């Protein structure tokens, strides 16, 4: 629960606030960019949801339930609108934002995918009964797919709860010693994990980073690729590239050459939904910018 006594002084006047336990993961700014911004290295409310704007109020609650430090709330302690996650990204898609981000993964988003051959959990939220119940109702988890070492969080607990296989690249395996399946290879060497589920090794952010593409429609990019609200375009995080920027450039070039998708669902950064041809063109242009900046 957010602590009024720790309310950040830069919050806009009004009911909603962020407290100073914020770790600046940016999750709230991606979920509700109209309400949250940044001040002094932490997220704050920059614009209160307007009275009667149910969409803005809903998005603020989504941000609150996703916040890894429970730093978002209201000074009047208004009642929460029940559990908002898992939340389907598009009706009928079978792909869900699960919220409940983990502080240990710096607030990274995780995703749940319902599939006839076994459901997927891509990266890990914090373990909570608020998600375990819905996951069970939708058929449990067959595979936990880890994009890289930073976003493992409570993956072991989820795998134990549902008897799931856990996949991670061998170069990041130390972060998940409980993993049952190790991916190998480098950029341009994809592996089929399950029907319609392809793992694309993407060394760069970390040596063992992986991008998962499902049904040539959904791309779960971890911290290798994201959408930027500020730029209105695709981006990669050079300032958070722990292994090799040239390798990340090469990895994204290989991803463009070997895959197609219309949804981009990252761990950090904003998500995007655009025609596949447009996303491909934008990815090609991003790679060119990255190469020029190497």
Determine, yes or no, domain membership for 79: no
Q: Would you state the structure tokens that stand for residue 105, as one six-digit string?
A: 């993964």
CA dihedral defined by 126, 242, 252, 191, rounded to 10 degrees? -60
Determine, yes or no, domain membership for 254: yes
Q: How far apart are CA 32 and CA 43, in angstroms?
A: 11
Q: Would you state the structure tokens that stand for residue 188, as one six-digit string?
A: 């341009």
Positions of E strands within 3-78: 16-18, 36-39, 42-45, 72-74
* Cβ atoms within 10 Å, residue 114: 16
Residues 6+ apart with CB under 8 A from 216: 196, 259, 260, 261, 276
Q: What is the pLDDT of residue 286?
A: 98
Q: What is the pLDDT of residue 51?
A: 82
Q: CATH number, domain at 17?
A: 3.30.70.20
Q: CATH number, domain at 101?
A: 3.60.15.10
For residue 45, the cross-strand partners are 36
pTM of the model: 0.94
Together in a domain, 67 and 112:
no
Q: What is the pLDDT of residue 80?
A: 80
Together in a domain, 119 and 158:
yes
Q: Would you state the structure tokens that stand for residue 68, as one six-digit string?
A: 């890894």
Together in a domain, 21 and 147:
no
Q: How far apart are CA 203 and CA 250, in angstroms?
A: 9
Q: By residue range, what is the domain housing residue 13?
A: 4-74
DSSP state of 250: H
Q: What Rg value do the Cα atoms of the chain yield, rounded?
A: 19
Pairing of strands 111-113, 95-97: antiparallel
Three-class DSSP category at 169: strand
Together in a domain, 50 and 195:
no
Q: What is the pLDDT of residue 54?
A: 86
Q: What is the pLDDT of residue 78?
A: 84
**What is the full per-residue pLDDT of the chain (294 aa) written as tens digits?**
899 999 999 999 999 999 999 999 999 999 999 999 999 999 999 999 988 888 999 999 999 999 999 999 999 988 888 889 999 999 999 999 999 999 999 999 999 999 999 999 999 999 999 999 999 999 999 999 999 999 999 999 999 999 999 999 999 999 999 999 999 999 999 999 999 999 999 999 999 999 999 999 999 999 999 999 889 999 999 999 999 999 999 999 999 999 999 999 999 999 999 999 999 999 999 999 999 987
Q: What is the pLDDT of residue 89?
A: 97
Together in a domain, 166 and 255:
yes
Together in a domain, 164 and 19:
no
Q: What is the pLDDT of residue 82?
A: 80
Q: What is the pLDDT of residue 111?
A: 98
Q: Would you state the structure tokens that stand for residue 253, as one six-digit string?
A: 């070039």
Together in a domain, 196 and 226:
yes
Q: What is the pLDDT of residue 83?
A: 83
Together in a domain, 68 and 204:
no
Question: Where among 23, 52, 74 does a domain terminate?
Answer: 74
Q: What is the pLDDT of residue 59?
A: 95
Burial of residue 258 (number of CB atoms within 10 Å: 0-12, 13-18, 19+): middle
Task: Report angle CA 254, 257, 263 to the nearest 5 degrees.
Answer: 95
Together in a domain, 61 and 103:
no
């Amino acid at each position: 629960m957010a602590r009024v006594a720790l309310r950040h002084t830069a919050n806009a006047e009004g009911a909603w606030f962020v407290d100073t336990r914020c770790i600046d993961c940016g999750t709230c700014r991606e979920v509700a960019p109209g309400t949250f911004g940044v001040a002094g290295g932490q997220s704050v409310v920059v614009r209160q949801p307007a009275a009667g704007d149910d969409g803005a109020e809903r998005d603020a609650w989504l941000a609150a339930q996703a916040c890894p430090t429970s730093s978002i709330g209201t000074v009047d302690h208004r009642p929460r609108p029940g559990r908002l996650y898992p939340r389907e990204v598009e009706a009928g898609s079978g792909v869900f934002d699960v919220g409940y981000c983990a502080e240990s993964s710096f607030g990274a988003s995780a995703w749940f995918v319902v599939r006839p051959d076994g459901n997927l959990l891509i990266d890990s939220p914090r373990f909570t009964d608020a998600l375990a119940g819905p996951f069970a109702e939708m058929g449990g988890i067959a595979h936990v797919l880890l994009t890289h070492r930073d976003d493992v969080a409570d993956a072991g607990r989820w795998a134990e709860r549902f008897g799931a296989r856990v996949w991670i690249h061998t170069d990041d395996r130390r972060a998940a010693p409980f993993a049952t399946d190790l991916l190998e290879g480098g950029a341009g060497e994809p592996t089929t994990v399950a029907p319609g589920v392809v793992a694309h090794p993407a060394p760069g952010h970390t040596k063992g980073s992986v991008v998962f593409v499902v049904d040539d429609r959904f791309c779960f990019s971890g911290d290798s690729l994201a959408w930027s609200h500020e730029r209105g375009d695709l981006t990669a995080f050079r300032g958070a590239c722990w292994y090799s920027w040239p390798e990340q450039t090469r990895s994204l070039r290989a991803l463009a050459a070997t895959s197609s998708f219309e949804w981009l669902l990252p761990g950090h950064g904003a998500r995007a939904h655009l025609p596949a041809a447009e996303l491909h063109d934008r990815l090609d242009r991003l790679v060119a910018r990255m190469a020029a900046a190497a």
